[in-house]
Amino acid sequence: MTPPPAGCSAEELRTLFLFEHLTADQLDWLCREGRVEQTGPGPVYAEGDPATCFYVLLDGTIVLSRRVGVDDIEVTRTSQRGVYAGAFQAYLGDRVPQLYTSSLRAVAPARFFVLSAESFARLMSEWFPMAVHLLEGLFLGARVTQEAVGRRERLLALGSLSAGLTHELNNPAAAALRATAALRERVAGMRHKLGALATGAYPQEGMEALITLQEDAVDQVAAAKSVTLGPLEAADREDAVDDWLDERGIADGWQLGPAFVQAGLDTDWLGRVETTVGADRLEGALRWLHYTVETELLMNEIEDSTTRISVLVGAAKQYSQLDRAPHRVVDVHELLDSTLLMLAGKIPSGVAVVRDYDLALPKIPAYPGELNQVWTNLIDNALAAMAGSGTLTVRTARDHDQVLVEFGDTGPGVPDEIRNRIFEPFFTTKPVGEGTGLGLDISWRIVVNKHHGDIRVRSEPGDTRFRVLLPLAAEPADGATPADAP
């Protein structure tokens, strides 16, 4: 039998909780296959490197850290003998990326028992075949389940957004349909009036003056489009126009007033019409001009409605990113605005939305479609927390070499006892059937894994803020998981 390497002691290995129930032959095998390494303070392995070894601490103090953006964040610091790290997923083979998922560093001289990834995989499959099958099923089954539930959550979100988008599209589409029907009636009326004018009731110079007034009315409608009257001011102007028309014996003049006022035409303008066409032809001229004004107003309504539809479709394309590269340089404000527009149908009337944007922020490299999913998850959680009333604040700012995107709500806050669990997969405080518990886990993975950013929460009653930090310049990367333990 080949003697074990110097420094490896079966008796010492037996004192570790990991190996205390192994047989003497198994401990001897470990010493033959493995080795004891002494290391000074410094790095042992780095996150993302090929996972070649399984490490068990014999003596010393170690730190496990995870890379977040450009920083290494300490996850665990321990001096407990027997804690392990490294290639402990080697038994899964090529079904998972065999990379170190954290960085290991010794903070003082340390000793490790080290086993190669191949030997560790062989140990697991030969000594604990049933346990390995159970672990494989647990690990791979959980991953498949998480992916399936994640897909379902995305589909549920898509269904909710689709319902909201359908509602938002229906309003301008219905408005355009109503305006088109009304416009058809007005055009028919104008043809009738044109026939009356063609009989020669108006002299040529009168027709020329009427056409000039008509063109002036069209210009007034265009100018009035940018002016919004308050309800009281509009009512006062309508009363003034109605009185002016009544004084001149215009039948049903109250039907003409609202359109004239909406077009920005007041009693002074009506006086110009009277002076131009004379009292005898005033009523006919006003009704002809009323058709013109109404036609222009209806065309404006159709234009506004179709523009609204175009904006909504553009927001849907921006939100889904279906026609764009998956990774590109983006303006976070465009992404936020498209998400808020897509979610407009879900935002209760009692919730005020405040946009506090730093418009000087530069564009950043990102996966925009996935960031939109993060925004959706965080806004949806904020709306659920506020239960129909409150203020949703979306803020952006520069934080050193990162972009901060913050979502604040005025809900009751996240209780201290669950604050450390909210990013765990399948953890949810929503009633059964209303939440999968993957929204924040998915958001964490998108922000941290794919963007090398960070996501954290600050919460107290009436002021909860989810803060997303994204690097101004970063290489996309995958492979991290929310937590590792030695």
Of the candidates 437, 435, 451, 486, the one whose C-alpha atom is nearest the C-alpha of residue 102 is 486
- pLDDT, position 479: 38
pLDDT band at 3 (very low <50, low <70, confident <90, very high): very low
Nearest-CA neighbor of 294 among 255, 268, 266? Answer: 255
- pLDDT above 80: residue 370: yes
**For the chain, domain boundaries:** 10-127, 159-312, 325-471
Query: H or E stretch including 111?
Result: strand 110-116
Reading phi first (left if > 0) and then psi (alpha if -120 to 50, else beta), residue 381 is in alpha
Q: Is the pLDDT of residue 443 over 50?
A: yes
Q: How confident is the model at residue 195 (pLDDT cuts 50, 70, 90)?
A: low
253 token code pair: 């003049």
Dihedral Cα 283, 284, 286, 287, nearest 10 deg? 110
- Which DSSP state fits 314? H
Averaged over 214-239, what is the pLDDT? 80
Which helix (H) or strand (E) covers residue 39, if one does? strand 35-39
Edge-to-edge strand ranges of the sheet holding 110-116: 35-39, 110-116, 53-59, 84-86
Residues 455-464: tens digit of each pLDDT = 988 888 999 9
Question: Which structure tokens are listed for 76?
Answer: 């665990």
Please classify residue 150 by burial: count the beta carbons closer than 10 Å to its beta carbon, then call 0-12 exposed, 13-18 middle and 19+ buried: middle
- Cβ–Cβ contacts within 10 Å for residue 10, how many? 17
pLDDT of residue 4 exceeding 50, the answer is no
Which tokens belong to 348?
Answer: 């209760």
The residue among 128 and 166 whose pLDDT is bigger is 128
**Do 422 and 457 meet the contact criterion of CB atoms below 8 Å apart?**
yes
Average per-residue pLDDT for the chain = 79
Residue scoring higher pLDDT (266 or 483) = 266
The confidence score (pLDDT) of residue 485 equals 33
Decide: pTM greater than 0.85: no
Torsion sign over Cα 323, 452, 135, 32: positive
Share of the chain above pLDDT 70, in %: 76
Strand partners, 239: none
H or E stretch covering 155: helix 129-196
Architecture, CATH, for domain 10-127: Sandwich (2.60)
Q: What average pLDDT score do residues 61-80 get?
A: 78
- Sign for the pseudo-dihedral over CA of 407, 408, 413, 415: positive
Selection from 47, 56, 55 nearest residue 99 by Cα = 47
Q: Do 10-127 and 325-471 fold alike per CATH? A: no
The pLDDT score that the predictor gives to residue 143 is 62
- 39: amino acid identity, one letter: T
Per-residue pLDDT tens digits for 68-77: 555 667 778 8
The set of residues, in sequence order, having a beta carbon less than 8 Å from that of 418 and lying 6+ positions away, is 427, 429
pLDDT in tens, 21-53: 899 999 999 999 999 999 999 999 998 899 999
CATH number for region 325-471: 3.30.565.10
